[in-house]
Structure 1
Amino acid sequence: MVKVLPVEQLINECVLFQSVTPEEMDVLLHASEREDFPEGARILDEGNSTRYLWVIQSGTCEVRKRLSNGNEQVLTQLSPFSIFGEMSFFKPAPHSASVVALTDVEVFRIPGREFDQMLKDGVSGAQKVVLNTVRIMSDRLRMMDEWTAEMVQSTGSRSKNAEWHDFRSKLYSDWQF
């Protein structure tokens, strides 16, 4: 088992582990790996592919998205008890953004292969993590919807408005892109 923050603190402060019991947490931690990154380290690189569900124990990171001109746009900052990597973890694909350490960072991560086995074995803690991840991603999507709608409205462009409505229609109906 990796050495991490007290189990009770993880359960109380990390949304990913909401409703997980201490015993279930021990099972999840037994499958986890711990790693430290120095300030400036690239923990995840956009376009690469790894299957880990990451939890920040200490430190701060930025999530960055590469733009067509080669620059990176900061999407958000992550602090202790934040998670990342969930999109590639649950649907294996290249990372959609990079994660860079702004300070020295301690993380633990759950490997995809071990997590898949826990789900196959019916481990209740793993099932709760899936449900909590859906909740986290729903909240993030809700915030992104709000932000996108505000941005489209603020441009005042009919073509951008039409583009937004077309995208939204595809996103919520047929998922065909």
Structure 2
Amino acid sequence: MSKYTAADFIDCPIFVNMSTEELQKVVNLMSIEDYRAGETIFSEGDSHAVIWIIIEGRCKVTKKTRDGGQRDLAVLARMRTFGEMSFFHPAPHSATVTAETDVTVARLDRARFHSLVDLGSQAALKIAYNTIAVVSERLRAMDEYVGQIIKSGETPRSGQEWGEFRAKLYSEWQF
């Protein structure tokens, strides 16, 4: 990853409060990939243990709908991350990420991250802590969205399905 240095990643939320030395160690562990506009980086249901960081360009996050379509969830720009859930909790990706423009991403895979963990690196702790903050922010936004749906009286699908979802959200799902 010789082309990039710690200074290139200073604005990435998962690297907040890292020293230049810590961040450079992480940068040295990452690989770089380029995608053309419209190219899929990963699909919903794939399983990759990688955190991607957008260096240049924009990516679109979409989710399959029950009727076979897809719904746009987000557009992510420079220094935003994706793939965190499958990185920390091995499971299939819950959405598809596509390059909206030509995009360059840095990839940090779990095995390389664990090399930091095995060394007792503070960088690993900071990445984990900061990623929790990023994911919590997204969860808070989802909670707000769901709250607005409930307040409006809308049901996004059948009333029965919505009721089952609400009942399971905190009581039945095992984490």
On whether the aligned pair clears a TM of 0.5, the verdict is yes
Matched residues in 2 for 1:162 and 1:56: separation?
36
Matched residues in 2 for 1:105 and 1:163: separation?
37
Partner of 2:7: 8
Partner of 1:21: 19
The two structures have a TM-score, normalised by structure 1, of: 0.88
Of the three residues 127, 148, 151, the one matched with 1:129 is: 127
Cα deviations by residue, 1:6-37 (Å, 9 ceiling, x for unpaired): 523422x2111100111011111111100000
Matched residues in 2 for 1:19 and 1:3: separation?
23
Helix, strand or coil: the match of 2:61? strand
Contiguous gaps of at least 5 residues in structure 2: none
Are positions 1:72 and 2:62 aligned together? Answer: no
Cα deviations by residue, 1:85-109 (Å, 9 ceiling, x for unpaired): 0010001111100000110000001
Partner of 1:106: 104
Cα separation, partners in 2 of 1:24 and 1:67, compared to 1, 3 Å: same
Structure 1 residue 167 displacement after superposition = 4.1
Q: How does 1:16-95 map to 2 (within 5 A)?
A: 16-95=14-93
- The more displaced of 167-176 and 39-48 is 167-176
Cα separation, partners in 2 of 1:161 and 1:145, compared to 1, 3 Å: farther
Equivalent position amino acid for 2:14 in 1: L
Structure 1 residue 170 displacement after superposition = 3.9
Matched residues in 1 for 2:88 and 2:55: separation?
21
Contiguous gaps of at least 5 residues in structure 1: none
Structure 1 residue 80 displacement after superposition = 0.3
- The more displaced of 66-75 and 50-59 is 66-75
The two structures have a TM-score, normalised by structure 2, of: 0.89
Matched residues in 1 for 2:2 and 2:51: separation?
15
Equivalent position amino acid for 2:130 in 1: N
Helix, strand or coil: the match of 1:76? strand
